[in-house]
Amino acid sequence: MASSHPSLPRETVVGLVRESYASLLSSARIKTHLIPLTERFAKQRLADITKDRDSARPQVLFVCVANAGRSQLAAALTHHLSGGSVIARSAGSSPADDLHPHVRELIDEIDGVEGQETFPKPLTDDAIRASDVVITMGCGDVCPVIPGVRYEDWAVGDPALASRDGVIAIRDDIQARVENLLNTLKPTS
């Protein structure tokens, strides 16, 4: 991983990978896939710390406590509806082991989004700093305030408390909000 980021000192990359592993380990009950998840998480974090704000695509971070439902749906819908022109991330202050089953099903139905690629991730300062917009999903999570980052709070229902039909209604609510959000983001030239 260090060779793919020659602008960073090797110690920085190694430290970030170790920290990513430790963060995921602390919330994992099942540790079977910890190495590939660490690799994905560390790649996201490395992209965040090396982001060039002047030329990068807009980036949105969706935050909810467990990062197992609404924030994951919002990120998947943002990626899909923007055609990949917006980087969409999600994270949580206390990540769950896995996505809610109904949420995983809905993410699997979204074209261009791999449900198996989504997993609960801890919230990091790197992700907030790299974001143009940080959106909390009405779950009481609080994020550090970074100058130059726009913050919003969306009061959205919790999929953990909903039936499959309820989760579909939550998805539709999030989709309408994402469509409005995308109209406010400036694409890079």
* Greater model confidence, 26 or 64: 64
Residue 180 structure tokens: 């409005």
Provide DSSP, the chain.
-GGG-TTS-HHHHHHHHHHHHHHHHHH-S--TTHHHHHHHHHHHHHHHHT--TTTSPPEEEEE-SS-SSHHHHHHHHHHHHTTTSSEEEEEBSS--SS--HHHHHHHHHSTT--GGG----B--HHHHHH-SEEEE-SS-------TT-EEEE-----GGGS-HHHHHHHHHHHHHHHHHHHTTPPPP-
**Tokens 């090396």 found at:** 50
Q: At 180, which amino acid appears?
A: N
pLDDT of residue 117: 64
pLDDT category of residue 50 using cuts at 50, 70 and 90: confident
Q: Are 77 and 171 in contact (CB under 8 A)?
A: yes
Cα–Cα distances in angstroms (integers) from residue 62 to residues 4, 15, 72, 75, 144, in the given order: 27, 25, 8, 7, 14
Q: How many other C-beta atoms lie within 10 A of the C-beta of residue 124? A: 21
Distance spanning both ends of the chain, measured CA to CA: 29
Q: State the average pLDDT over residues 3-31.
A: 82
Residues with Cβ < 8 Å from 21, sequence gap 6 or more?
A: 34, 38, 42
Q: How far is CA 171 from the centre of its chain?
A: 16
Give the model confidence (pLDDT) of 120-145 as tens digits: 899 998 999 999 999 999 877 677 78
pLDDT at residue number 145: 81
The per-residue pLDDT for 97 is 84
